[in-house]
Amino acid sequence: MSNTVEFAKMNGLGNKILVVDMRGRSDKVTPQAAIALNADAETQFDQIMAIHDPKAQGTDAYIDILNSDGSKAQACGNGTRCVVQALAAETGKKAFTFQTVAGILNAFEHDDGTISVDMGLPVFDWNRIPLAEEFHDTSRIELQIGPIDNPVLHSPSAMSMGNPHAIFWVDRDPMSFDLERFGPLLENHPIFPEKANITLAQVISDSALRTRTWERGAGLTLACGSAACASAVSAARTGRTGRKVTIDVASSPIRQPLRIDWRGDDHVVMTGPAEWEWSGTLDPSTGTWSRDAERGAEAR
């Protein structure tokens, strides 16, 4: 078995993604390789999307997802769009079915280049999100940051989109909050036994939100697709918006909104862009890599 595999540096609305081709192999991208890749400024990422041979009949691939700290992620909507773009360019296909730890995902590339991903069903049960204590209504749980009589953030909506999310509702631009300071405290709060993605969401209208996310296992991120889905669902669930919204991801340098549709069958469909940046090869056990244009030069 070769020591190296092909990979692409991509982004989904600024969400930094490495798509790694592990098809035809029995090994995996190791946590050590992920940490080493993230430590290099050129390959720094939010998620690795490792494409493996399909395990379930009727699927195109099994996707193994790693965070930048080497931990496993259950879902990554922006990364899934990157996988679709890469495989569509390779195969000419438009529709794909993927298996992940979080379940089966269906995705489709449109003629305009945007990609829709069916992120599945939202989960609201406290023990399935999961939360460490019982809440009858997870649309508003007891959690706050700041003075008890004047908290900076409080009463988030909690849910799972394959991974746990807490959505804090704010009345001003999410970029004006010190999420870099609050994010680690909230991600690791004891109420979240599997940690959580922390999102600040501002309601712009009954069909638009503005968000910013501290991502579990990755930290401050330019974009998080599953958090956009969780924000949209939570906004509709609490009567703040309808079930179709656009999401302005405040931290993204790409000024193109995500479109989220919480359909009548309760599936959440996210539509947005993906962008290829460059490609290369890497060693999935160590993270040593080289860029395509640099092959033959000393590996990093």
Encoded tokens for 107: 């995705």
Cβ atoms of 232 and 199 within 8 Å: the answer is no
Which of 75, 115, 224, 232 is catalytic? The answer is 224
Report the number of secondary-structure helices (H) and strands (E) in the chain: 4, 20
> Is residue 76 flagged as an active site residue?
yes
DSSP of 197-264, one letter per residue? EEEEEEEEETTEEEEEEEETTTEE-S--HHHHHHHHHHHHHTTSS-SEEEEEETT-SS---EEEEE-T
The contacts of residue 207 (CB under 8 Å, 6+ apart) are 241, 242, 244, 245, 246
> Is residue 229 flagged as an active site residue?
no
The Cα–Cα gap between 9 and 13 comes to: 13
The Cα–Cα gap between 164 and 93 comes to: 32
The Cα–Cα gap between 265 and 262 comes to: 8
Q: Cα dist. 139→53, 146, 229, 264 in Å?
A: 38, 21, 15, 19
The Cα–Cα gap between 211 and 160 comes to: 17
Which of 5, 34, 76, 249 is catalytic? The answer is 76
Q: Which amino acid is at 202?
A: Q
| Catalytically annotated residues | 76, 224
